[in-house]
């Protein structure tokens, strides 16, 4: 993966930049030692690494503003970092960049049940937000698989989703406001406890902008009352096509499950070995979950099971207990870990129209044979967000490159059928060079114009999202 | 000017020598009056894609909303954000269009649970002020590929681009609905009871206080579900509630959504977006008839003509927009709440990037 040549001018004034940063943050919050900096050389896309110039770990908005102001004056690129769980390389540094991590900013600032929101520092983890309010019957809805570790800052940067967005939406639908610092150190409040924007919806633009428009330091998040209960049903089918058709029929029937998860044979086996969830031996498995009181759940699952029966399932099993439900979800949520324990893999997350599911799965199967690499499929079927896991051997020369080439072909296929390159992981560096497949130059230019407004010098996370040649003039002009 | 397609529209914008007044169905004349040649989207008409099994619809911007709603209704689906029809309130007779609704980010009572128009909008095509045809988002509901300009276009009132096509995430129409109606309550009591209702797991998707002070709470779902939820709500909230079912329930919300009471009374109408718990204080300071929606988060205020509501409100956490007022009032008062300097600077910067010649609805948003 190509990255811009480090700015020699910046490298040569490292000492001065570090000295200036040392004046605005405590010693413990400025990491300059090489061994310690190495911990920040990559995120969860571990194939690409680079040690940054320095790492700063500020503790509040004022420190963030001070750091950014200095880097702006010195012309030093800044790479914002949440918990470093990005699968797309969103937090990958360059040699001439300063990492600005929010890991020390983890305070709960306000819990307001009357208005149903919380205000947090952006370094707080996703699951910790729910942890603070669940004993009072509330939760924060977006639930990415990495929720134990991932920070709200990263969720906002990538507009993270999760398994339950069919009903609850993604981060942007649950974000009410942010405090954000621009590259020049200007602090802005966007949104708040009210529900819509006074003028342009800048909050909506910030969400999903991959840390390129500003650094979010605080966030106001909508919290929701917990449902009375939830129950999954397992459905096994003897082909991907039939499972895909069943998903479509469920959606059309007017029941809205909170989640419809799909796994194929390879994934079912790996998860079953890992979690012992009692998954059936079949080609395709759906986990469909609904919420409500026990009687409401019975009604909804009744409708769903009736639809499933029309597709001749090889297994149709409703969870009988809280414990069984937990096991069923544990299997699904440990899918990546389970696959990782048997192989190296690359995880894609292109989204496709639900109607194209059978076709796309068949094509992926054919390509898998062509490339000679296995693919396991596990994904959020209700919203078409796929997660093909391409298995490869990192120790085998050329396998990573082959895997990347295969991945690119799958993502092109997603775009071809009317979908997109990434549904919830973000572009980062991983899909940067594929942006031309989905967008015309004029579409990318429109997006880059927004960055021109927020960060005219292109210093914030500059080598991400846009193909390097598309952003070259702008990055070099600055 | 009424282009027949996107390409012709692009040429017209590129060739414009003066301000253009962008017009969908002309049913939402909000903002500073724009002097300029009319550019109508009426020629961009038709549903381009509808996949009920994927909960997705794509339509050209000039498509009448009624046409979209009819197509969706036939499949038991809907635009869940319940867009307000402003015709009665603003005395207009045109046909609301998809593009106009998006440009206004028009969202009704259900916004409190399912989100606004901007939340259901998953893709746009638009022509910017230099005639570039730009697409953003797409037709799938989970998409983080590049910046989200879809949100930027929603509620930008045609000042950053002329919408040509919009894609939406849909939801199924539940089997039935019911509304609980209370006796008249003070704003304070109303907001408190709405907050309690919205904090239950019973998925209340309408929580409003009408002009007469009665609080209305709506639930939807399968018949057994609705029965269970209304009973559970009454048990949780206490007090006396009158039950309105199906069509009677729907009628409550159509009146609430379209502000039928204010439509028949003269005066300026302001829309106040506020932190719900601050709503009672804001209502007291406004000192005029109000409809409170979104659990108190949205206040519609009926003010004497020409009065500056913001002067009475002082500082509060939210903003106020003048929706109905004479041309003179809209020319004299800021229609949209003036923003803090660093935010206003960004808005100005975006306008300069997307419409450098200032031809798209110039001045409409201030």
Residue carrying structure tokens 């988060």: B297
Residue carrying structure tokens 């724009």: B34
Residue A143 is classified by DSSP as -
Q: Chain A residues with CB inside 8 Å of B273's CB? A: 194-196, 198
Asked if B172's CB is within 8 angstroms of A256's CB, the reply is yes
> Which of A366, A154, A358, A130 lies closest to A249 in space, CA to CA?
A358
Q: What is the pLDDT confidence band of residue A248, given thresholds at 50, 70 and 90?
A: confident
CATH number, domain B176-203+215-252: 3.30.70
In this structure, is residue A356 part of a structural domain?
yes
In this structure, is residue A2 part of a structural domain?
no
Q: Is B121 on the interface with A (CB under 8 A)?
A: no
Residue A379 has pLDDT above 90, yes or no: no
The answer to whether residues A239 and A314 belong to one domain is yes
Tell me which chain A residue has its CA closest to the CA of residue B337.
A198
Q: How many CB pairs under 8 A join A and B?
A: 259
In angstroms, rounded to a whole number, what is the distance separating the alpha carbons of residues B231 and B235? 6
Q: Is A161 on the interface with B (CB under 8 A)?
A: yes
Reported CATH class of domain B260-332: alpha beta
Task: Among 2.60.120.680, 3.40.50.11900, 3.40.50.10740, 3.30.465.10, name the CATH number for the domain at B6-172.
Answer: 3.30.465.10
**Are A388 and A377 in contact, with CB atoms under 8 Å apart?**
yes
- Cα dihedral across residues A354, A140, A154, A88: positive or negative: negative
**Are B361 and B136 in contact, with CB atoms under 8 Å apart?**
no
Residue A303 structure tokens: 């409708």
The answer to whether residues A244 and A329 belong to one domain is yes
The domain boundary residue, chosen from A77, A101, A125: A101
Q: Chain A residues with CB inside 8 Å of B81's CB? A: none
Q: Chain B residues with CB inside 8 Å of A187's CB? A: 342
Share of chain A above pLDDT 70, in %: 100
pLDDT at B205: 97
Q: Chain A residues with CB inside 8 Å of B222's CB? A: 296, 299-300
Q: Is B341 on the interface with A (CB under 8 A)?
A: no
How does pLDDT run across A257-314, given as a tens digit for each residue? 999 999 999 999 988 888 888 899 999 999 999 999 999 999 999 999 999 999 999 9
| Cα separation of the two ends of chain B | 24
pLDDT at A256: 86
Radius of gyration for the alpha carbons in chain B, expressed in angstroms and rounded? 21
Strand order in the sheet with B162-169: B47-51, B56-60, B162-169, B121-127, B133-137
The answer to whether residues A217 and A137 belong to one domain is yes
The count of other CB atoms within 10 Å of the CB of residue B128 is 23
Residue A348 structure tokens: 């894609």
**ipTM of this complex:** 0.97
> Which of B144, B326, B126 lies closest to A86 in space, CA to CA?
B144
Q: Is B316 on the interface with A (CB under 8 A)?
A: no
- Highest mean pLDDT among A206-220, A246-260, A322-336 belongs to A206-220
Asked if B141's CB is within 8 angstroms of A351's CB, the reply is yes
Share of chain A above pLDDT 90, in %: 86
In angstroms, rounded to a whole number, what is the distance separating the alpha carbons of residues A411 and A401? 15
**Are B319 and B272 in contact, with CB atoms under 8 Å apart?**
yes
**Domain locations in chain B as residue ranges:** 6-172, 176-203+215-252, 260-332
Q: Is A432 on the interface with B (CB under 8 A)?
A: no
Of the candidates B139, B346, B354, the beta carbon closest to that of A449 is on B354
The answer to whether residues A78 and A18 belong to one domain is yes
Asked if B354's CB is within 8 angstroms of A446's CB, the reply is yes
Q: What is the pLDDT confidence band of residue A223, given thresholds at 50, 70 and 90?
A: very high
Asked if A418's CB is within 8 angstroms of B138's CB, the reply is yes
**Are A393 and A336 in contact, with CB atoms under 8 Å apart?**
no
Q: Is A255 on the interface with B (CB under 8 A)?
A: yes
CATH code of A48's domain: 3.30.43.10
Q: Which among B13, B30, B76, B143 is the top mutation candidate for probing chain A, defined by the most A β-carbons within 10 Å of its own β-carbon? A: B143
Integer angstrom CA distances of residue B92 from B25, B26, B27, B30, B242: 10, 8, 6, 12, 34
**Are B153 and B124 in contact, with CB atoms under 8 Å apart?**
yes
> Which of B151, B22, B119, B104 lies closest to A447 in space, CA to CA?
B151
The answer to whether residues A424 and A469 belong to one domain is no
In angstroms, the separation between the Cα of residue B147 and the nearest Cα of chain A is 5
Q: Which of residues 295-354 of A touch B (CB under 8 A)?
A: 295-296, 299-300, 351-354
pLDDT at A1: 81
Of the candidates B53, B132, B275, the beta carbon closest to that of A354 is on B53
The answer to whether residues A219 and A115 belong to one domain is yes
In angstroms, rounded to a whole number, what is the distance separating the alpha carbons of residues A276 and A431? 35
**Are A390 and A373 in contact, with CB atoms under 8 Å apart?**
yes
The answer to whether residues A15 and A76 belong to one domain is yes
In angstroms, rounded to a whole number, what is the distance separating the alpha carbons of residues A214 and A61? 12
The answer to whether residues A320 and A382 belong to one domain is no
Q: Chain B residues with CB inside 8 Å of A443's CB? A: 134-136, 146
How does pLDDT run across A393-412, given as a tens digit for each residue? 989 999 999 999 999 999 99
Q: Which of residues 10-49 of B touch A (CB under 8 A)?
A: none
CATH code of A362's domain: 3.30.70.2740
In angstroms, rounded to a whole number, what is the distance separating the alpha carbons of residues A183 and A175? 22
Q: Chain A residues with CB inside 8 Å of B105's CB? A: 196, 201
Residue B131 is classified by DSSP as -
Name the residue range of residue A279's domain. Answer: 230-336
The domain boundary residue, chosen from A48, A82, A101: A101
Asked if A186's CB is within 8 angstroms of B342's CB, the reply is yes
The answer to whether residues A167 and A61 belong to one domain is no
pLDDT at A380: 87
Of the candidates B52, B116, B145, the beta carbon closest to that of A196 is on B116
Q: Is B233 on the interface with A (CB under 8 A)?
A: no
Q: Is B251 on the interface with A (CB under 8 A)?
A: no
Q: What is the pLDDT confidence band of residue A252, given thresholds at 50, 70 and 90?
A: confident
Q: Chain A residues with CB inside 8 Å of B135's CB? A: 439-440, 443
Q: Chain A residues with CB inside 8 Å of B340's CB? A: 188-189
Residue A13 has pLDDT above 80, yes or no: yes
Q: Which among B83, B142, B170 is the top mutation candidate for probing chain A, defined by the most A β-carbons within 10 Å of its own β-carbon? A: B142
Q: What is the DSSP string of B80-119?
A: TT-----HHHHT--S--BHHHHHHTT---TTHHHH--HHH
Q: What is the pLDDT confidence band of residue A478, given thresholds at 50, 70 and 90?
A: low
The domain boundary residue, chosen from A280, A315, A336: A336
Of the candidates A209, A249, A453, the beta carbon closest to that of B350 is on A453
In this structure, is residue A3 part of a structural domain?
no
The answer to whether residues A361 and A427 belong to one domain is yes
CATH code of A174's domain: 3.30.465.10
CATH code of A236's domain: 3.30.70.3450
Q: Chain A residues with CB inside 8 Å of B115's CB? A: 169, 173
Give CA torsion, residues A443, A444, A447, A451, to 10 deg. Answer: -160
If you average pLDDT over residues A74-98, what whole number do you get?
97
Asked if B145's CB is within 8 angstroms of A435's CB, the reply is yes
Burial of A455-473, coded b for 16+ CB within 10 Å and e otherwise, reads bebbbbbbbbbbbbebbee
Considering chain A, what is the average pLDDT of its residues? 95
pLDDT at B182: 98
Integer angstrom CA distances of residue A32 from A55, A73, A77, B219, B295: 7, 20, 16, 57, 51
Q: Is A75 on the interface with B (CB under 8 A)?
A: no
How does pLDDT run across A107-166, given as a tens digit for each residue? 999 999 999 999 999 999 999 999 999 999 999 999 998 899 999 999 999 999 988 888
Bigger pLDDT: A357 or B47? B47
In angstroms, the separation between the Cα of residue A209 and the nearest Cα of chain B is 5
> Same fold for the domain at B6-172 and the one at B260-332?
no
In this structure, is residue A39 part of a structural domain?
yes
The answer to whether residues A112 and A198 belong to one domain is yes
Question: Which ranges of chain B have pLDDT less than 50?
Answer: none
In angstroms, rounded to a whole number, what is the distance separating the alpha carbons of residues A324 and A279? 11
Asked if B294's CB is within 8 angstroms of A424's CB, the reply is no
In angstroms, rounded to a whole number, what is the distance separating the alpha carbons of residues A409 and A402? 11
The count of other CB atoms within 10 Å of the CB of residue B241 is 18
The answer to whether residues A220 and A138 belong to one domain is yes
Q: Is A410 on the interface with B (CB under 8 A)?
A: no
* Total count of domains within chain A: 5
């Amino acid at each position: 993966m190509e990255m811009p040549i480090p700015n020699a001018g910046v490298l040569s004034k490292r000492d001065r930049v570090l000295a200036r940063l040392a004046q605005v943050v405590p010693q413990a919050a400025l990491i300059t030692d090489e061994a310690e900096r190495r911990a920040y050389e990559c995120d969860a896309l571990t194939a690409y690494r680079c040690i940054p110039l320095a790492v700063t770990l500020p503790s509040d908005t004022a420190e963030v503003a001070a750091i950014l102001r200095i880097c702006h004056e010195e012309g030093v690129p800044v790479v914002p970092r949440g918990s470093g769980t990005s699968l797309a390389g969103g937090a990958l540094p360059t040699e001439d960049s300063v990492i600005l991590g929010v890991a020390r900013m983890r305070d709960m600032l306000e819990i307001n049940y009357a208005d149903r929101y919380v205000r947090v520092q952006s370094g707080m983890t996703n699951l910790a937000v729910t942890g603070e309010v669940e004993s009072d019957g509330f939760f924060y809805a977006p639930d990415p698989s990495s929720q134990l570790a991932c920070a709200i800052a990263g969720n906002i940067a990538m507009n993270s989703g999760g398994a339950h967005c069919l009903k609850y939406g993604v981060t942007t639908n649950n974000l009410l406001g942010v405090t954000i610092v621009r590259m020049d150190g200007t602090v802005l409040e966007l949104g708040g406890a009210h529900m819509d924007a006074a003028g342009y919806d800048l909050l909506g633009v910030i969400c999903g902008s991959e840390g390129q428009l500003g650094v979010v330091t605080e966030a106001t998040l909508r919290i929701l009352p917990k449902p009375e209960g939830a129950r999954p049903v397992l459905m096994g089918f003897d082909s991907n096509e039939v499972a895909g058709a069943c998903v479509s029929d469920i959606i059309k029937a007017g029941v809205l499950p909170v989640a419809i998860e799909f796994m194929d044979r390879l994934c079912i086996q790996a998860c079953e070995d890992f979690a012992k969830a009692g998954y059936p031996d079949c080609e395709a498995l759906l986990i469909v979950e609904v919420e409500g009181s026990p009687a409401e759940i019975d009604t909804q699952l009744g409708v769903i099971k009736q639809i499933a029966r029309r597709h001749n399932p090889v297994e149709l099993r409703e969870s009988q207990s809280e414990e069984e439900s937990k096991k069923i979800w544990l299997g699904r949520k440990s899918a990546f870990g389970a696959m990782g324990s048997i192989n190296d893999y690359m995880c894609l997350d292109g989204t496709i129209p639900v109607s194209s599911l059978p076709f796309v799965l068949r094509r992926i199967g054919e390509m898998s044979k062509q490339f000679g690499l296995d693919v396991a499929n596990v994904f959020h079927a209700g919203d078409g967000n796929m997660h093909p896991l391409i298995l490869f051997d990192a120790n085998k020369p050329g396998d990573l490159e082959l895997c990347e080439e295969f991945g690119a072909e799958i993502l092109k296929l997603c775009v071809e059928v009317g979908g997109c390159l990434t549904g919830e992981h973000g572009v980062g560096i991983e899909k940067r060079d594929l942006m031309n497949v989905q967008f015309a130059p004029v579409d990318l230019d429109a997006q880059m114009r927004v960055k021109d407004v927020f960060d005219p010098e292109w210093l914030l996370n500059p080598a991400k999202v846009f193909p390097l040649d598309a952003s070259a003039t702008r990055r070099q002009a600055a | 000017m009424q282009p027949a397609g996107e390409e012709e529209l692009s040429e017209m914008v590129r060739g414009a020598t003066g301000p253009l007044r962008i017009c969908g169905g002309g049913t939402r004349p909000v903002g500073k009056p724009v002097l300029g040649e009319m550019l109508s989207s009426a020629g961009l008409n038709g549903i381009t894609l509808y996949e009920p099994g994927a909960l997705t619809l794509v339509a050209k911007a000039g498509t009448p909303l009624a046409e979209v709603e009819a197509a969706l209704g036939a499949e038991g689906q809907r635009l869940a954000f319940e867009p307000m029809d402003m015709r009665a309130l603003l005395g207009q007779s045109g046909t609301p269009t998809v593009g106009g609704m998006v440009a206004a980010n028009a969202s009704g009572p259900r916004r409190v649970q399912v989100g606004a128009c901007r939340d259901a909008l998953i893709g746009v095509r638009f022509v910017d002020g230099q005639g570039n045809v730009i697409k953003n988002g797409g037709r799938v509901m989970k998409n983080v590929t590049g910046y989200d300009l879809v949100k930027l276009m929603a509620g930008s009132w045609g000042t950053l681009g002329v919408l040509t096509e919009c894609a939406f995430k849909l939801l199924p129409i539940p089997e039935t609905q019911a509304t609980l109606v209370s006796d008249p309550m003070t704003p304070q009591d109303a907001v408190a009871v709405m907050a309690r209702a919205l904090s239950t797991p019973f998925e209340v998707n309408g929580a409003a206080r009408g002009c007469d002070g009665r609080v209305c709470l709506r639930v939807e779902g399968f018949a057994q579900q609705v029965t269970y939820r209304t009973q559970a709500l009454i048990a949780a909230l206490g007090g006396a509630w009158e039950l309105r079912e199906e069509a009677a329930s729907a009628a409550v919300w159509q009146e609430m959504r379209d502000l039928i009471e204010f439509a028949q009374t003269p005066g300026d109408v302001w829309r106040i977006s506020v932190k719900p718990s601050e709503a009672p204080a804001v209502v007291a300071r406004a000192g005029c008839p109000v409809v409170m929606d979104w659990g108190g988060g949205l206040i519609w205020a009926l003010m004497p003509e020409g009065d500056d509501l913001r002067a009475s409100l002082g500082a509060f956490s939210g903003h106020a927009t003048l929706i109905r007022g004479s041309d003179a009032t809209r020319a004299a008062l800021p229609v949209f709440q003036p923003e803090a300097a660093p935010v206003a600077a960004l808005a100005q910067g975006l306008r300069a990037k997307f419409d450098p010649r200032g031809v798209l609805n110039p001045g409409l948003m201030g």
